[in-house]
Amino acid sequence: MSGRARTMVCVVYVTVVFMVSMDMTIANVALPAIAREFHAAPAATGAVDAAYLVSVAVCIPASGWISDRIGPKAAYLGALALFVAASLACGVSGGLGMLVAARAVQGLAGALLLSVGLTVLYLAYPPDERMRLARAIVLPGALAPTLGPVIGGLLVDHLSWRWGFAINLPIGLAALVAGAVALDGGGQRARRRFDLRGFLLVAPGAGLVMFALNYGATRGFDASVAVLLAAGLACLAAFAVAAPRTREPLVDLGVFRDAAFRASGGAMVFLVAGFLAAGYTFTLLYQDGLGHSASLAGLAVLPKALGLMAASQVAGRLQNRFGPGRVVTACMVGAAATIALTDLVTVGTPVHLIMLLHLAMGFCVGQSSIQLQITAFSTVGTAATSAASTVYNTERQMASALGVSMGAGVLAAVPGGGLAPYHAALGAAAGCALVAALVATRLVRAAPAPAAAKT
């Protein structure tokens, strides 16, 4: 593949991930307006989010099989076309039921785009050139959470919530045309059988875990949530036992034999959970606990996106000099420190100091995220890229839900009023970052030599 074609693949990947990520945040902002238009209770609109999240969790495990069966290009472009069509259906929905169904289809397509997209990207770039992607792959995650609520608020206030879905149409169609031209039609294909038993275990398992974590974070944790979570974990455990005995498992857990992939994935779970728990908790602390406005809270955490982007500019040089394990360990200790320092924020803390803390937090987390993702696939063979992408994205989705649920759970569990629950939740988030640092120490031995990364 030529250099120009590789660049186009990267552009398509970044555009699509940005679109999918921003779609979620825009939808969250639009929920009150949706409830008013459809004369639905605010709690009922939670199904709009739940349908999307559960569909993502259910479909990601099967994304590797789909990619192998029909080829990464066909799977990616098919998912992109489905996402655009589902966005159109969301925008023209005549009732809450139709909107929830369309969001479920969006989730199925979004799961394929996130998982197969990573496969397509890493098949286009050999391991020694993937660090060059750092400046690009961090952009969607840095900008979408920041711009999504802003764009969604403007659309809801001045046009309609329906435009929050309609904007996916021109973006998605442009990416579809560019992808059809740029993506390599080859890639691995395997006429392997569909592991129905595995799907009947891992799909409900992942779906129940995601639903339980989302429900617990938004509605509160009770016995029903515990039952759903236990059932989901039991299904996943059963799949983990059955998969090694299956000739062609739906998800090849053999990728965990790769030490670099195993350590990177483990550190990433704690990294994402801690980072999202800290973001969720601090926003509530700053508004509900300290009495500041939503606008000032948004301004205070905005530098996190700048820190994430700044991290991408030096990722290659740091990896070459120190190796990914040392970089991630140091950065996660730094992330834990900055999260702990936000726990000391009071009503009188100058906003510029809070912004500096979030700038440093964003840099540390962004640097770690880049190093972990690149290192996770550094020693994974081409034939196993699809399976590794499926596993890595499943871990990341679960970690995202776990982080928010952990923050909400600690806030609900800590007795007493005042700021004590917020302090406990931020302390738990900092603890996650320290665990990530501990797990990342294994990368010192597992990751390839620093000189392998080109910048």
Range in 46-50, 94-98, 141-145 the model is least confident about: 141-145
Q: Which residue has the higher pLDDT, 3 or 109?
A: 109
Q: Is 420 left (phi over 0), alpha (psi -120 to 50) or beta?
A: alpha
Q: Of the ranges 76-80, 138-142, 404-408, which is most confident?
A: 76-80
pLDDT of residue 439: 84
Range in 37-46, 182-191, 300-309 the model is least confident about: 182-191
Tokens of 224: 């029903």
Q: What is the pLDDT of residues 115-141, one digit of tens each?
A: 788 778 877 777 666 666 666 666 676
Distance between CA atoms of 11 and 248, rounded to whole angstroms? 34
Distances in whole angstroms, Cα of residue 132 to Cα of each of 126, 127, 335, 406:
11, 10, 24, 34
CATH superfamily of 1-194: MFS general substrate transporter like domains (1.20.1250.20)
Residue type present at position 210: M
* Residue ranges of the chain assigned to CATH 1.20.1250.20: 1-194, 251-455
Closest C-alpha among 21, 64, 11 to residue 177: 11
Q: What is the pLDDT of residues 358-400, one digit of tens each?
A: 899 888 888 888 888 878 877 777 667 777 877 887 888 788 7
pLDDT of residue 190: 58
Q: What are phi and psi of 206, to 5 degrees?
A: -65, -40
The pTM (predicted TM-score) of the whole model is 0.74
- Going by pLDDT thresholds of 50, 70 and 90, the confidence category of residue 44 is low
Q: 């275990």: which residue's tokens?
A: 201
**Three-state DSSP string of the chain:** CCHHHHHHHHHHHHHHHHHHHHHHHHHHHHHHHHHHHCCCCHHHHHHHHHHHHHHHHHHHHHHHHHHHHHCHHHHHHHHHHHHHHHHHHHHCCCCHHHHHHHHHHHHHHHHHHHHHHHHHHHHHCCHHHHHHHHHHHHHHHHHHHHHHHHHHHHHHHHCCCCHHHHCHHHHHHHHHHHHHHHCCCCCCCCCCCCCHHHHHHHHHHHHHHHHHHHHHHHHCCCHHHHHHHHHHHHHHHHHHHHHHHCCCCCCCHHHHHCHHHHHHHHHHHHHHHHHHHHHHHHHHHHHHHCCCCHHHHHHHHCHHHHHHHHHHHHHHHHHHHHCHHHHHHHHHHHHHHHHHHHCCCCCCCCHHHHHHHHHHHHHHHHHHHHHHHHHHCCCCCHHHHHHHHHHHHHHHHHHHHHHHHHHHHHHHHCCCCCCHHHHHHHHHHHHHHHHHHHHHCCHHHHCCCHHHCCC
Distances in whole angstroms, Cα of residue 190 to Cα of each of 69, 129, 194, 257:
5, 26, 11, 21
Is the pLDDT score of 151 beyond 80?
no
Residues with Cβ within 8 Å of residue 420, at least 6 apart in sequence: 414
Is the pLDDT score of 450 beyond 50?
no
Is the pLDDT score of 217 beyond 90?
no
Which of the four CATH numbers 3.30.470.10, 1.10.3470.10, 3.40.50.2300, 1.20.1250.20 does domain 251-455 have? 1.20.1250.20
pLDDT of residue 136: 66
Residue type present at position 219: R
Q: What is the pLDDT of residues 246-299, one digit of tens each?
A: 887 777 788 888 888 888 888 888 888 888 888 878 877 887 778 877 667 777
Q: What is the pLDDT of residues 88-106, one digit of tens each?
A: 998 888 888 888 889 889 8
Closest C-alpha among 86, 81, 46 to residue 166: 86
pLDDT of residue 308: 79
Is 429 exposed, middle or buried (CB count within 10 Å of its CB: 0-12, 13-18, 19+)?
Answer: buried
Distances in whole angstroms, Cα of residue 107 to Cα of each of 11, 96, 183:
22, 16, 23
The number of residues in the chain equals: 455
Percent of the chain at pLDDT > 70 equals 85
pLDDT of residue 295: 66
pLDDT of residue 79: 92
Residues with Cβ within 8 Å of residue 349, at least 6 apart in sequence: none
Is 16 exposed, middle or buried (CB count within 10 Å of its CB: 0-12, 13-18, 19+)?
Answer: buried
pLDDT of residue 63: 80
Distance between CA atoms of 169 and 136, rounded to whole angstroms? 22
Distance between CA atoms of 43 and 412, rounded to whole angstroms? 18
How many of the other CB atoms lie within 10 Å of CB of 3? 8
pLDDT of residue 185: 61
